[in-house]
A = this chain, B = another copy of it.
């Protein structure tokens, strides 16, 4: 059945029904005064601060349904918004959704997309409090607004000279995953699209993917899939372990160099990045080698890592910040990389820019 045969009201009723499955928690949340169903949701937050972020995802720009299944896309929509709230050291709470899909879309695809969103809602312990559903004459267009609460948020502007610079996880995986996806053979593209990265993601060491465009070698699933998952269905990093130590924080969405430059702008400081300390995964290094890509370039300029980038005073031990790696030092001014031999180079902030790349 297609969406235009089902109709908006039936979809909304079904969303409300599914929603009741996990809305038992609503009654237990005294901060929700009015939930879904009125002209607006009403909240009565007990925290000192309410945080708001909003992000868009468009078919053909932010995602490609030829290799991404819709469950991953729905989950990513939630993750990227959660990442912004986490990046302020706050607690993600209330989600508002806008979804526009073509009337010819199969209703199964709608529910696949929604299942990814639901998975995100459960994973991050959010509550869906409203939104808007529309037909589209063209591509699928999604946006979400997420509210968070905090009693002690962290901005981009608190970094001080002498602070250390940290990142969580590993850098460049998502960008490398995208490069892998772009080069897949038609056959492997179908295999990847069929994988449910959010519910049952288990790389199988026995399988491998193949490429087109003159790349003769194949790549093990165990190398490719973690990178592809990082691109198609990224998890947002929890920031609570760093909240009390961090002097400034943001998430890396456009690439390390452009994002650390923004943090330095807002904090009016400089930085030195120790290139030999950048955390990279063995999968990324292996895949980049196989595809002839510059792993270091992917790590510093690759977008959509959704890792946390933060600064903390030098008297905090790296061991007290589990999951984070010290990659540099905040300075009075200047923005430089420092190689293992001590060579300094000025940082060139480069990253994805909408319109400029169309």
**Chain A residues close to B by CB (< 8 Å):** 3-4, 6-9, 11, 33-34, 37-45, 48-56, 58-62, 84-85, 87-88, 90, 94, 96-98, 100, 102-103, 129-139, 141, 143, 145, 147-148, 150, 153, 155-157, 250-251, 266, 353-358
Contact = CB atoms under 8 A, between A and B. Distances in A.
Contacts of A55: 98, 132
B52 A129 contact: yes
4 closest residue pairs by CB, A with B: A138-B138, A103-B358, A60-B137, A7-B356
Contacts of A85: 39-40
B355 A38 contact: no
A189 to B, nearest CB: 19
24 contacts: A4-B358, A7-B353, A7-B356, A9-B353, A37-B266, A38-B156, A40-B53, A40-B148, A42-B150, A42-B155, A43-B52, A45-B45, A50-B50, A54-B131, A54-B132, A55-B132, A61-B134, A61-B137, A98-B143, A100-B141, A103-B358, A135-B354, A138-B138, A145-B145
A57 B145 CA distance: 16
A133 B44 contact: no
A333 B103 CA distance: 36
Contacts of A42: 49-51, 88, 150, 153, 155
A3 B50 contact: no
What is the count of identical protomers in the complex? 2
A263 to B, nearest CB: 10
Nearest to A110: B355
A87 B39 contact: yes
Contact of A355 (B96, B98, B103): B103
A50 B250 CA distance: 25
A167 B196 CA distance: 50
Contact of A11 (B98, B100, B355, B358): B355
Nearest to A150: B42
A343 B206 CA distance: 77
Contacts of A266: 37-38
A98 B54 contact: yes
A172 B132 CA distance: 23
A133 B49 CA distance: 25
Contacts of A132: 54-56, 143
Contact of A130 (B48, B53, B87, B94): B53
Contacts of A100: 56, 58, 61, 141
A258 to B, nearest CB: 10
A137 B38 CA distance: 33
